[in-house]
Copies of this chain bind each other. A is one copy, B any other.
Amino acid sequence: MDIATIIGTVVTITLILLAMETPSAFVNVPSILIVVGGTAGATLIANPLSDFMGALSIYKKAFIPSSTLPTELIGKIVGFAETARREGILALETACEGEEDAFLSGGVRLAVDGTEPDLIMDILETELTFVEARHKTGVEFFSRMATMAPAFGMIGTLVGLVLMLGNMSDPAAIGPSMAVALLTTLYGSIMANVFFDPIAAKLTLYSAQEILAKRMIIEGIMSIQSGDNPRIVEHKLSVFLSPSSRPVGEEDGGE
């Protein structure tokens, strides 16, 4: 649960609603249609259908990140290393049964099966490459939405202005017509700056964290398979963390 994303979204939306005084005056269905629908349509032109369908589940990731903490991950892998040392590498088969992280358990199983180190490395690195590519697609999807929304906001405003200017017989209607015309620009701007742009930034961050975790898993499995001492495994993994967040006793421990 990412509290920052939730607080940020709630605070931002609340403040915008407060500024609107009577939020209902800001709701205009045709305006919503052209901005939301136009943005969605242009995104469909630019992306494959599958990306579009999966967008919501990627969006949720910015609220509920799935990656475990690096320190917990080190604990888990060092635990596996200890089991492998004490009971032999085959004992990991049962040890990793309840493991939720499919990348970790898949990697451990490869090691248990006696797959050659080079091949394990190859299989896991290839998967990592595809994970990275998938993340990049997700981030670019929201970045594109963040560019498209203000563009369709402006298209909506231009359409509204042309309609208003073409029919100015009733001076009293000019103000409200112009207000409606400006609504689409407002919608586009809110969509980009509250929903798409910051989410793309948070997803970039989570992608970096998940890739770091996967790199640690690869390093850990290779180390376990080559029969390293659990202390060595822990040391090798702690190098991935900033000195201040390493497990106690790691920073200046010589070998």
Q: Could you tell me which A residues sit within 8 Å of B by CB distance? A: 2-5, 7-12, 15-16, 18-21, 25-26, 30-31, 33-34, 37-38, 40-49, 52, 62, 106, 109-110, 113, 115, 119, 123, 126-127, 130, 133-134, 144, 148, 151-152, 154-156, 158-168, 175-176, 178-179, 182-183, 185-186, 189-190, 192-194, 197-199, 201-202, 205, 239, 242-243, 251-252, 254-255
Contacts and interface: CB of A to CB of B under 8 A. Distances in A.
A5 B42 contact: no
B4 A49 contact: yes
A165 B171 CA distance: 12
Given A46-B201, A162-B186, 7 more contacts: A7-B44, A8-B46, A12-B41, A15-B34, A46-B202, A48-B205, A168-B175
B37 A15 contact: yes
B45 A202 contact: yes
Given A15-B37, A45-B12, A165-B182, A193 B148 contact: yes
Contact of A19 (B34, B126, B168, B242): B34
A7 B41 CA distance: 7
B19 A127 contact: no
Contacts of A201: 45-47, 144
Given A8-B42, A127-B243, A179 B161 contact: yes
Contacts of A109: 252
A190 B255 CA distance: 54
7 contacts: A3-B49, A11-B41, A18-B34, A26-B162, A42-B198, A119-B255, A159-B186
B252 A110 contact: yes
Nearest to A206: B48
Contacts of A123: 251-252
Nearest to A165: B179
Nearest to A4: B49
Nearest to A65: B48
Contact of A42 (B12, B44, B158, B167): B12
A189 B151 contact: yes
A113 B254 contact: yes
A77 B85 CA distance: 45
Contacts of A186: 155, 158-159, 162
Nearest to A209: B48
